[in-house]
Amino acid sequence: MHEPLYLGIDTSCYTTSVACTDGKSIVFSKGTMLSVAFGDRGLRQSEGLFQHVKQLSPLLCELFSRIDRNAIAGIAVSASPTSQENSYMPVFLAGLKQAETLTAALDVPLIRTDHQSGHIRAALYGNEDLLERNRFFAVHISGGTTDLLLVEPHRDAPYRIEPVGCSTDLHAGQFVDRVGVALSLPFPAGRHLETLAVQAEHRGVKLPSSVKGTSCSFSGAESAAQRLLHTVPDAELAYGVYDCLARTLSKMFANAAAIHGELPFLICGGVASSQLLKTLLKTRFRGKLYFGRPELSKDNAVGVALLGADRSEAWNR
């Protein structure tokens, strides 16, 4: 018999991605970033949707050339940004409609999930021992989220998610991108800003950190960073951004632990791919931190595919 395979499709705000898993290993994973004009800080949803439609077909053709399509047991897709009610963005329609067509053609189940759950599951790859716990925190930090989530594994699906904290204005990735673009770096700016930050000879720039309970704000820090443009070396300002992120997140973690108990934290999302942020968080926060693989922290369909396999296993118990 064929080992069952599960396809995953994710069409996020800035990456078109497809993946395949047998439930244990990653069989295929590939993504193509959406094109953003230099100097811009994002895309309109209509433009993102248009680019996904163009980019999905070649990615799926390559995937099907690498696997035995007769072994496909299900197709999972991120149909919304999060699992919360009324969560919606038009870009996810590109993946959803393609997945609906493929499941009808292959006569296999369609497993609807969401982008945030996919990020959590991708970060759990190699950290599956967390699923044996009653609860843990997941921290989703990206251009569209700075979400502190209480995750409870359960029998009928991989986990339940309860939001317990967030940013009240700019998200962590927006903070990074706005400062990066102001420094004439390409968008998305994370990788480029980090490369600049590690070159800082002096690390004395302290941007304001605003935390109230389990919520935070980055607008004040971003305004302070903009005021420092051209007055301090670019590398020092870049380092100040990551230092601010680490101080802010560490305070949120400590406050969450005081309220909900000393639980481990799983860090996921595009900003979590930063090695510098990982190092700074480990220095500042003494609790238990888990990190996904850097290549699986950025937007990708691996977690979505793994969720498809998990859901099918739950159905067959």
What is the Rg, in whole angstroms, of the alpha carbon atoms belonging to the chain?
20
Is residue 180 over pLDDT 80? Answer: yes
Residues of the chain with pLDDT > 90, as a percent, come to 90
Measured distance CA(291)–CA(210) in Å, rounded: 24
pLDDT of residue 157: 65
For 220, half-sphere exposure in the C-beta direction (CA atoms, 13 angstrom radius) is 12
**Tell me: the pLDDT tens digits for 10-58?**
999 999 999 999 999 999 999 999 999 988 888 999 999 999 999 999 9
Is residue 315 over pLDDT 70? Answer: no
Query: Cis peptide leading into 188, omega within 30 of 0?
Result: yes
3-state helix, strand, coil in the chain (%, to 5): 45, 20, 30
Measured distance CA(9)–CA(23) in Å, rounded: 15
| Helices and strands, number each (H, E), in the chain | 10, 12
Between residues 149 and 311, which one has the greater pLDDT?
A: 149
pLDDT of residue 50: 97
Ramachandran sector of residue 108 (left: φ over 0; alpha: ψ -120 to 50; beta: rest): beta
Neighbours of 164 (CB within 10 A): 18
CB 131 within 8 Å of CB 89: no
Phi, psi of 139 (to 5 degrees): -120, 110
| Ordered structural domains, the chain, with CATH | 5-122+297-315 (3.30.420.40), 172-291 (3.30.420.40)
CB 304 within 8 Å of CB 77: yes
Residues β-bridged to residue 19: 8, 29
**What would the mean pLDDT of 129-140 be, rounded to a whole number?**
93
pLDDT of residue 40: 87
Is residue 131 over pLDDT 90? Answer: no
